[in-house]
Every structure is written in structure tokens, then in C-alpha cells.
Structure 1
Amino acid sequence: MDLALLRTFVTVHRAGSFTRAAALLGLSQPAVTSQIRTLERQLGRPLFLRQARGVTPTTVGDELAHKAAPHLDALVEIAETGLDDDSALRTLHLAGPPEFTAERALPALTRLIGDDGQGFSLRASFGNAEETLEGLAAGHHDLAITTARPRGSLLTATALCDEEHVLVAAPRWPERISSAPPRPKSATPLDNLPVVEVHESLPFVSRYWASVFDARPAASGTVIVPDLRAVLACAVAGAGLAVLPRYLCREALERGDVVPLHDPPVPPLRTYFLVVRTGTLAMPPIARAHEWLQQAAVDWC
């Protein structure tokens, strides 16, 4: 049986789509379709059920994928690392949100490199959830950290940790809130405060308002900057209120640079996921980094 046909088959099985598999393999969709039909003729059994959106594996297809995928992944590992144990370090490519990756993941992984000595070298890139998952699926990254759980069987996600969101501002703002005139029942005293956010859509503030106040924020963004560390700096400088992960603003809270504006009984949480392409945990560097991040995350919760 042709290994190229098996590789195409496993990619389609994981992607759930001829179109997606073609993009991952660098082939045209007709070429992928032709290879799958050739394999089905060789086996004498259908491997996929064609649907309006993508494909679903048959029982025979699932069984073949279960048997073939680990061996194909092992061959990929051999091709990437070579046969010589003394060859150059395997480069691990990590992607994730800039703040969490910089403050949490990278320090943990660089400690692993320091302890392990010969395991791998590290390259990191930043992006939003959609960009990160697309890059992982396309093979640009080995590991991804994201706040979105991917769908389908191409990617495998493991819950990593939860972050608590805190509504904060510089110390002078609570005094202005307490001295403000009474507001209508439908409004909150926070509605007139300027807002510092990462995007015009106010993703963090909107999520906090929906979770805690069951409402939409009335204010628009006063300062928009696409990095939560910069949001914190602007909040410390007095630019307005901000919703931040507690881990990111903990030291500023302890110093009194910012203060909490609200203390809900149940604070809003956001879950981070550690994502890999299905099957790649068979590769030792990826498996080691994956396990190390999970161990480190125990202290992040």
C-alpha cells in the first residue's frame, strides 16, 4: 500500500474535509479526492461518507486511521529529527496570546530547556485564537495556547488553566464614583468611567459586564491598545477602568497602583487550552513540552 495514499487518508481523517486536507498537504482538492478514491479501490471498501460540509469516516475508515496514524506519525518524527541522536536540536514552535505566552508559558518552557539541556530549541509567535489554531492546523506550530476549544478531530485540546478577571482602575477613580450623582436603576456607577481595552469591541469589559451585571457596558473605549500589559500600564496611569487577568495585575494590586472596583461573589473566568495536532504527542519534544506546561499550570490556577 502506497504510504503517500495513507498520509493523505490520515490527513483527511483528521481534518474532516478534503479541502482542509488539501491545504495542509499542499495539494489540490482534486488530487486529494483522486488519492482517496485510489485507496478505496485498493481496499474495496469506502473510507468516507461525503456530506454537504466535509466528510465522515466509515467504520472501516476509523479502523484504518487507528492502525495507520501512529506509524505515520513515527515516520514523520524520524524524518524531522533524523536517525542520528547527536543531530541538531529539534525546534519546538509555540504560539499563543502575547501576554499569557510571555508571562506564563515561555518562562516555564525556558526552565525546561535549562533543566533538560538537550531537549529542543524554542521559537514563539503571538496571535489571536483564530490565527493560532489556523497556524497549528497548517503545521506552522507544534503547540498552541488558546482560549477557544477547537472542533473536529484534526486538533486535540487539553484544558490548561482558568484565569480570573478583575475590574480595576487607578486609586483616584473610586472617589469619583462615590461622589457621582445617583444613577438610574438600569445603570451602574461605572458606566461613565473611561475604558481601556484591547479592541474597539471591548471583549474583556463586555464579557465582565455580561457575567457580573447581566448587561452591556454603556461606555466606549477611551484607550485601545492590543496588549493587556499596555492596558495595565494605561490603567495604572489613570486612563480609566480595565478588566484584566488577576495574574497580570496581581503585583499592581498589591502595590496599590490599581484597586478593584467591584468584588463579585463569582468572578468571571476564562479557560486556556493547550492544543496540538492529533497524533503529534507521539513526538518526544512535543510530549515533553506538553507535559511540562500542564505541570506548571497547576501553580497558575
Structure 2
Amino acid sequence: MLKINTENLKKSHQLIWFVIDFTMLGLLIINLAFIIFDSLYAIEVVRDGLTAISPAITDAYRPIHRNFIVYDLIFVGIFLTEFIVRWGYAVKARVYDRWYFYPFIHWYDIVGCIPVGSFRFLRILRVISIVYRLHQYKVIDVTQTRIYQFLNFYYDAFMEELSDRIVIKVLSGAQDEIRKGSPLFERIQNDILFPRREMISDWLSQRVAEAAQEGYVPNRGALRSYLENRVDNALKQNLELSRLKYLPVVGPTIQETLEECVGDIVAHVIHQILEDLASASNHAFIEDIVNVFLPSPDENEEEIRNEALISLVTEILEAVKTQVGVKHWRENLP
């Protein structure tokens, strides 16, 4: 059920306009009901059925039906008056950059006021605009109504079905192009990535240095302690090293010294590697890695590499198509 938030209504400082909105909304509903009833009354079968049920209603409504345009013009006059008042307020408050923008932006209000045939039913657009405006100011919340939830559910279902079919169609087309030998990969590698190897190397070098600085430098003590403990545990489980303690006199000393030396060496090596990565000297190392992944276009085995890449990409697209094909809206069905 639609509830009115009276607190937001008072805080909005536009109470008079919201009163006008609710008044217009009521008149529009009455007018649309009047139009629908008159349209049904014009059908002979409906009129005969109504006469059979209640001849008094038919006789009473007959003169109204003959002068329907007059009664409808009363509503049109009220709607146009409200439109002109809002237009004047928009001009005075400088809501839009030009005074003549208002009727173009609110064209649906004018079209709905045309008292001819099917144009009358376009007044439903004005109902929608008023409801939307009230919802926008949080005076009402249409999302909590059953009508909105019903329509929104099937709208989401329709959009999901439509988007799924479009995505699957696009991915299938991409797979066909890739299987036919699309030059896409060669263009990406030769025309986009390869000319920018130096830029990619610089960027990766900077990112690796930042990651090492932020992740390693503040925790170097904890990392060294961890490495020494892990190396110490590994050495104690080594059978050859454990036999040293059986040597007379010097055995335990040699074993302990080796454990300390190995632990210190490992920690020092890891420390030096991370120190190098955290400095500008990592550029050459990163550049070598980039050159491995982005070799020169004229190197051998490019065809084998492309076939493997094509197979990998098509399998990835197939997995994406399978996931896209899942109908999530069905999970919300009762």
C-alpha cells in the first residue's frame, strides 16, 4: 500500500506544490476513469448490457455522453491552468536557462491536454510524472507497492533475458572470428603492447618498488624471524645434518653453527632481493620479464603460441557464455 511520508512532506518546503500534485493526481484519476467509462459506453454491446442491468444509469448518462467533450474540456481547462501556473513559477524562479524551455521539457502535459481521441489517454504520462516527482522527493515510496514490485520483477526478467541473448550472441561472434584467424592478437601484441614495452616496464617497476616498500620494509624484522624459524625447523628435520651431533666434542657445535649460518644466509638473500625490488635498480629485472612476455614480433614459434592463446581465449569465452546463460530471475520466483 502506498504511504505518504508526512515528515519529508513538511521538510521539503514545497507543501503547496505537493498539495497541487495530489489534487491533480486525484483529478487525473477521475478524468481517466471518466474517459474509460465513456469509451466503453460508446460500444453498443456494453451499452445494451448496462441498460439490461440498470436502465436508469443508461438514461442518466446518455446526455453526459452526448456532451462528453464539454465535460472533458472542464478537466482540460483545470490541467492547462495548473500547467501555466507552474510555467510562470519556473520562469520566476529561473528553474531553466530559458523561459520557453518549460513546455518542451514538460511536453507530455501539453499532449495529454489535447481533447481528441487517443490523445486523452496520454494523460497517464502526467500521472506517472507526478508520482515520479513525489517519489523523488521521498514523499511516497512506490518501490514498496505491489504493482511496482510486480512490474519491476518482470522488467528485470525481460532485461536479463534480452541482455543475456545479446551478450551470448556477441561472444559467439567473437569466438567465430577468433577461430577463423582474426588478426586481433597480432594487432594487440605488435601494434599496441610491443611499442609500449618501455612504458609497461617503467610502470611495473614502479608498482613493484612501491609494493616492496609498503609491504616489506615495515615488516622486515618479522619476516626475518619467520624465515629463520622456518629454516631452523627444516634443518632439524634433515637426517644428514642431525647426524653431526654424534661427532665427539665438536658435533653439536658444528650443527648449531650450520643452522645459524644457513638461516642467516637465507634471510640475508631474501632481504637483499626485496631491497633490490624496493629500489630503482629493479628496472632491468622487470624489463627482462616484460621482454619474455612481449618478445619481438619476428621471433619464432609465434604460430604455436597464437594457437594456444586462441584456444585459451575461446574456452574463457565459453565459460563466460555458460555463466551468462544462468537465469537469475528464476531464483526469485515463488
Question: Do they superpose with TM above 0.5?
Answer: no
Larger RCO (CA within 8 A; separation ≥ 6): 1
Greater fraction of residues in helix = 2
Q: TM-score, normalised by structure 2?
A: 0.18
Higher CA-based Rg: 2
